[in-house]
């Protein structure tokens, strides 16, 4: 059954006025005439080889700027080291340094760190943070810049805690991996620079300490050691740069310390780019929380959820056990009077109670088709726990279809899957958009478009004219007026014309020579190792199809398991829709071709010309086991 739903050579002239008389040295020059106050019309070209004082007709000629002077200069050693004057140590945290990325990764990193995916967390790190992932981002010229002001120009003592990278670089030789360059200016505005001498430094891995543990960080890259060297600082603005030289592996950094009698200022150790770079998250781009509380003897988990490119990502880091090897409260923890524990992180106090995990409230949208159990409009669950079908009031013959999520910051998070989605630390609103027959699951019918023309499916690709809308962005009607699901729209600009011979017929519905075809793929398995489409088991597929175009479309639909190989007994489903019409196509099939698969593929064969096709498609399926 079908249901309709409409839904600028003046210089040449000047040069020609100069004449040479006779064959000797006497010369006569014809000068350009002009009245006082008249603008000169000669264009003058600066000649860098012209001697000083040479005649110039152009009174508005401005010589080019002199070249900038960049001078290598190493200041005198800080006199305090010899005369015993007082010095002070200034520690600068690497997570607050400015990172100047060069090369192919610059777009990805965007000259900034974030506290989740570009930094590592560990209690034993200064400020509990250090740089991370620089092994991925180092390109020749990339630098980590410690920018500050100095009251004097001195050669000073510097310490840095750096990672020695993986075991393949043993010993780790800093001078083979990066340079330390100082930059500043003198009172004439000339640029000054110098390089620190790292040539004597070599760090055996056995003399490094494995600091970072647990979670998303590969500790192989976090064997830390302290290096000492002399570096220049310049009066006024100074920058000490750890600069990758294009070979080796660079380094990750925890901090640098400058020991000098000069006054150091202008460096903000309270700066965190995850807060300052945000625009829509109340000044934050990430949420940190204790997702698993540590016990006296077991580690816990400190998690971060970060909003990146339209979705939240979770990163986990290890928290030390509450007690050290001597049975004392581990360094960094404070026990509160009420039995809870706390630690400082980014100037904030993080509090947790052993055995009690963080909870979050989930609300249901007013537009949702169902409420939570008992008609409740909100529920509270521990962070990290799943939302389950049993949390909803469902009719006995229905299951949940598409569920959309929105966070408290107003982000549309798209559809969620109950089998894999867990409660985040931030507040969430859910909207159940569709209910489907019990036993079925709704899938994105167009995870991937593999539109191929002409014969056969793999004979040539004409993808440029095909497009697929976002998942679950369009309501697709079915055969009955009250049927429908949210799905996608497949569009083709141009005319699709049958090209094969013979055409399908009643006696030969699947001719060996394939016709004009296009195909869309649905990922039913969670990953390439999950292959629920098994052979010789009956699977039931229900497609909701609607013609959103302006011309009739006449297609045949087959569900295939491999390429465009149609099962021998599959006659397919005739899809004949005028503009605005819709239908529901049920196809029950046991696959015998190909092998177990994570995908199911809807293969459409064009039976008659269709112009500027707009085909709405949604899918539910029940898989054989």
| CATH code of the domain containing 170 | 2.60.120.260
Average pLDDT estimate for 76-86: 96
Q: Are residues 282 and 226 in the same domain?
A: no
* Residue 330 sits in the same domain as residue 366: no
Residues 189, 284 within the same domain: no
Assess contact for 261 and 80: CB atoms under 8 A: yes
Interatomic CA distance for residues 31 and 16, integer angstroms: 11
Residue 403 has pLDDT above 60, yes or no: yes
Do both 412 and 491 map to the same domain? Answer: no
Higher pLDDT, 385 or 511: 385
Please tell me whether the peptide bond between 456 and the residue prior to it is cis, using omega within 30 degrees of 0: yes
pLDDT band at 378 (very low <50, low <70, confident <90, very high): very high
What is the CATH classification number for the domain harbouring 399? 2.60.40
Q: What is the pLDDT of residues 24-63, one digit of tens each?
A: 334 343 434 434 444 434 444 455 555 555 555 555 555 5
| Phi, psi (deg, nearest 5) at residue 552 | -65, 145
Average pLDDT over residues 69-96: 93
Which carries the bigger pLDDT value, residue 119 or residue 49? 119
Range from 101-115, 344-358, 436-450, 458-472 carrying the lowest mean pLDDT: 101-115
Kindly report which listed range (3-12, 155-164, 210-219, 349-358) carries the lowest average pLDDT score: 3-12
- In sequence order, the 6+-apart residues with CB closer than 8 A to the CB of 249 are 135, 138, 165, 166, 169, 177
Asked if 313 and 300 sit in the same domain, the reply is yes
Structure tokens at 145: 């810049």
Domain boundary among 237, 267, 297: 267
CA-based nearest residue to 148, from 74, 237, 233, 88: 237
Higher pLDDT, 49 or 163: 163
Query: Quick check: is 23 in a domain?
Result: no
Region 222-236: what's the mean pLDDT?
96
- Give phi and psi for 134, each to the nearest 5: -65, -20
Indicate if the pLDDT at residue 578 is higher than 90.
Answer: yes
pLDDT recorded at residue 540: 95
Model confidence at 508, pLDDT cuts 50, 70, 90, reads: low
Which helix H or strand E contains 305, and what residues bound it?
strand 300-308
Distances (CA, A) of 16 to 11, 30, 45, 362: 9, 9, 16, 86
**Count of domains forming the chain:** 4
Q: What pLDDT is attached to residue 241?
A: 94
What pLDDT is stored for residue 41 in this prediction? 42
Is 6 within a domain? no
| pLDDT tens-digit series, residues 335-348 | 999 999 999 988 88
Residue 563: which pLDDT band, with cuts at 50, 70 and 90?
confident
40 C-beta neighbours (distance < 10 Å), count:
14
Phi, psi dihedrals of residue 258, rounded to the nearest 5°:
-110, 120
pLDDT > 70 in the chain, percent: 76
Q: Are the beta carbons of 155 and 76 closer than 8 angstroms?
A: yes
Mean pLDDT of the 98-110 span? 59
Q: Give the per-residue pLDDT at 478.
A: 93
Instruction: Average the pLDDT over 352-368 and give the result.
Output: 91
Which residues, in sequence order, are bridge partners of residue 352?
341
CA distances from 219 to 128, 167, 322 (A): 15, 11, 21
- Report the alpha-carbon distance of residue 32 to residue 86 in Å, rounded: 72
List, in sequence order, every beta strand (DSSP E) within 474-608: 474-477, 484-496, 517-523, 538-547, 553-560, 573-577, 581-590, 599-606
Phi, psi torsion values for 109, nearest 5 degrees: -85, -25
Tell me the average pLDDT across 134-146: 69
Stretch 124-152: mean pLDDT: 81
Longest dimension (CA), the chain: 115
> What's the pLDDT score for residue 7?
39
- Per-residue pLDDT band for 92 (boundaries 50, 70, 90) equals very high
Positive/negative CA dihedral, 143, 148, 152, 155? negative
Quote the pLDDT of residue 103: 58
**Model pLDDT, residue 284:** 57
Compute the Cα dihedral for 148, 149, 151, 154 and give only its sign: positive
Provide mean pLDDT across the span 152-173. 91
Give the residue carrying structure tokens 């992932």.
133
Final residue of a structural domain among 379, 408, 439: 439
Rounded mean pLDDT of 245-254?
A: 78
Most trustworthy range by pLDDT among 24-28, 102-106, 458-462, 467-471:
467-471
Confirm whether 235 is domain-assigned.
Answer: yes
Residue 319: is its pLDDT beyond 80? yes
State which of 415, 439, 463 marks the end of a domain: 439
Output the pLDDT for position 569.
Answer: 85
The residues with which 368 forms a beta bridge, in sequence order, are none
DSSP strand pairing (70-72 vs 191-195): parallel
Mean pLDDT over 70-88 rounds to 95
Q: For residues 259 and 376, state if they share a domain.
A: no
pLDDT of residue 432 exceeding 80, the answer is yes
User: What is the pairing mode between strands 610-622 and 538-547?
Assistant: antiparallel
Q: For the ranges 14-23, 247-256, 502-511, which has the lowest average pLDDT?
A: 14-23
285: region left, alpha or beta (phi > 0 left; psi from -120 to 50 alpha): alpha
Domain shared by 429 and 390, yes or no: yes
376 in any annotated domain: yes
d(Cα 584, Cα 479) in Å, to the nearest integer? 5
Band of residue 76 on the pLDDT scale cut at 50, 70, 90: very high
Quick check: 288 pLDDT over 90? no
pLDDT of amino acid 96: 87
pLDDT band (50, 70, 90) for residue 90: very high
Highest-scoring range by mean pLDDT, 84-88, 219-223, 247-251, 424-428: 84-88
> Is the pLDDT score of 299 beyond 60?
yes
pLDDT > 90? residue 310: no
Judgement on whether residues 338 and 235 belong to the same structural domain of the protein:
no
| Beta bridge partner(s), residue 547 | 615
CATH no. for residue 552?
A: 2.60.120
pLDDT for 457: 38
Sign, CA torsion 319/145/92/257: positive
Please state the pTM of the whole predicted model: 0.65
- d(CA 266, CA 184) in angstroms, rounded, equals 14
Residues 192 and 212 in one domain: yes
| pLDDT above 50 for 271 | yes
Mean pLDDT, residues 114-119 taken together: 71
**Main-chain phi, psi angles of 207, to 5 degrees:** -100, 10
- Residues 149-173, mean pLDDT to the nearest whole number: 92
Report which of 480, 492, 456, 482 is spatially closest to residue 603, judged by C-alpha positions: 456
**Residue numbers of the domain that contains 116:** 80-267
Tokens for 392, please give them.
Answer: 């909803």
The chain-wide mean pLDDT, for the chain, equals 80
Q: Taking residues 417-428, what's their average pLDDT?
A: 83
Of 133-137, 159-163, 257-261, 565-569, the one with minimum mean pLDDT is 133-137
Task: Judge if 99 and 198 occupy the same domain.
Answer: yes
DSSP 8-state secondary structure symbol assigned to residue 13: H
Q: What SS3 state is found at 223?
A: strand
Average pLDDT, stretch 531-560?
A: 95
How confident is residue 291, by pLDDT bands cut at 50, 70 and 90? Answer: confident
Tell me how far apart the alpha carbons of residues 180 and 242 are, in angstroms, rounded to a whole number: 5
Q: Classify residue 2: in a domain, yes or no.
A: no
- pLDDT bucket at 98, cuts 50 / 70 / 90: confident
Position 75 in a domain: no
Q: What is the pLDDT of residue 509?
A: 57
Q: What is the mean pLDDT of residues 310-319?
A: 83
Q: Assess if residue 59 is contained within a domain.
A: no
What SS3 class is residue 232? Answer: strand
Quick one: DSSP state of residue 366? T
What letter would DSSP give residue 174?
G
Identify the band that residue 181 occupies on the pLDDT scale cut at 50, 70 and 90. Answer: very high
Q: How far apart are CA 483 and CA 436, in angstroms?
A: 10
pLDDT of 36 reads: 44
The alpha-helical segments, DSSP class H, found in 139-201 are: none
CA 527, distance to chain mean position in Å, is 20
- The larger pLDDT score, comparing residue 15 to residue 270, is at 270
Same domain for 453 and 599, yes or no, is yes
Question: Can you give the C-alpha Rg of the chain in angstroms?
Answer: 36
Most confident segment among 1-5, 101-105, 330-334, 354-358: 330-334
pLDDT value of residue 464: 52
In terms of domains, do 482 and 469 share one? yes
Interatomic CA distance for residues 501 and 575, integer angstroms: 20
Place of tokens 């479309």: 553
Residue 35 lies in a domain: no
Looking at residue 37, its pLDDT comes to: 44
Percent of the chain with pLDDT over 90: 45
What does the alpha-carbon distance between residue 355 and residue 217 come to, in Å, rounded to a whole number? Answer: 25
């Amino acid at each position: 059954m079908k249901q309709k739903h409409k839904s600028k050579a003046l210089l040449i002239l000047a040069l020609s006025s100069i004449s040479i008389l006779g064959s000797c040295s006497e010369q006569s020059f014809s000068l350009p005439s002009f009245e006082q106050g008249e603008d000169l019309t000669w264009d003058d070209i600066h000649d860098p080889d012209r001697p000083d004082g040479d005649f110039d007709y152009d009174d508005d000629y401005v010589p080019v700027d002199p070249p900038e002077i960049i001078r290598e200069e190493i200041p005198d050693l800080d006199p305090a080291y010899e005369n015993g004057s007082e010095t002070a140590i200034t520690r600068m945290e690497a997570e607050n340094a400015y990172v100047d990325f060069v090369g192919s990764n610059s777009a990805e990193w965007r000259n900034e760190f974030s506290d989740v995916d570009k930094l590592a967390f560990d209690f034993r790190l200064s400020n509990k943070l250090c740089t991370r992932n620089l092994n991925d981002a180092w390109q020749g010229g990339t630098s980590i810049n410690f920018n500050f002001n100095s009251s004097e120009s001195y050669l000073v003592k510097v310490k840095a805690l750096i990672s020695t990278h993986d075991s393949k670089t043993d010993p780790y030789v800093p001078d083979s991996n990066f340079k330390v360059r100082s930059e500043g200016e003198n009172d004439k505005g000339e640029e000054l620079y110098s390089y620190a001498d790292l040539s004597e430094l070599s760090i055996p891995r056995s003399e490094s300490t494995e600091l970072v543990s647990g979670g998303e960080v590969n500790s192989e890259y976090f064997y830390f050691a302290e290096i000492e060297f002399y570096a220049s600082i310049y009066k006024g603005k100074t920058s000490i740069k750890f600069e990758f030289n294009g070979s080796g592996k660079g380094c990750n950094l925890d901090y640098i310390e400058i020991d000098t009698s000069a006054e150091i200022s202008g460096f903000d150790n309270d700066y965190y780019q995850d807060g300052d770079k945000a625009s829509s998250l109340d000044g934050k781009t990430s949420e940190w929380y204790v997702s698993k509380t540590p016990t006296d003897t077991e580690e816990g988990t400190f998690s971060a959820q970060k909003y990146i490119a339209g979705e939240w990502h979770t990163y986990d880091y290890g928290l030390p056990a509450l007690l050290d090897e001597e049975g004392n409260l581990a360094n960094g923890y404070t026990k509160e009077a009420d039995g809870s524990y706390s630690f400082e992180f980014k100037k904030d106090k993080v509090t947790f109670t052993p055995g009690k995990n963080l909870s979050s409230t989930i609300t249901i949208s007013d537009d949702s088709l169902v409420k939570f159990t008992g008609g409740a409009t909100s529920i509270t669950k521990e962070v990290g726990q799943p939302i389950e079908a049993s949390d909803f009031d469902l009719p006995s013959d229905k299951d949940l279809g598409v569920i959309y999520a929105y966070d408290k910051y107003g982000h549309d998070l798209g559809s969620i899957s109950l089998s894999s989605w867990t409660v985040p630390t931030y507040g969430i609103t859910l909207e159940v958009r569709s209910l489907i027959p019990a036993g079925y699951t709704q899938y994105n019918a167009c995870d991937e478009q593999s539109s191929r023309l002409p014969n056969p499916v793999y004979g040539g690709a004409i993808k440029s004219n095909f497009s697929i809308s976002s998942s679950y962005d369009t309501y697709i009607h079915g055969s009955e007026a009250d049927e429908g699901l949210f799905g996608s729209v497949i569009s083709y600009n141009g005319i699709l014309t049958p090209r094969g011979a013979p055409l399908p017929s009643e006696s030969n519905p699947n001719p060996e020579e394939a016709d004009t075809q296009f195909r869309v793929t649905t990922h039913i398995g969670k990953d390439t190792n999950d292959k629920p489409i098994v052979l010789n088991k009956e699977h039931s597929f229900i497609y909701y199809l609607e013609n959103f175009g302006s011309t009739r479309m006449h297609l045949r639909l087959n569900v295939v398991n491999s390429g465009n190989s149609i099962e021998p007994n599959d006659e397919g489903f005739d899809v004949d829709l005028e503009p605005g019409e819709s239908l529901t196509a049920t196809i029950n099939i046991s696959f015998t071709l190909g092998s177990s698969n994570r995908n199911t593929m809807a293969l459409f064969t064009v039976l008659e010309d269709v112009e500027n096709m707009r085909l709405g498609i949604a899918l539910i399926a029940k898989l054989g086991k």
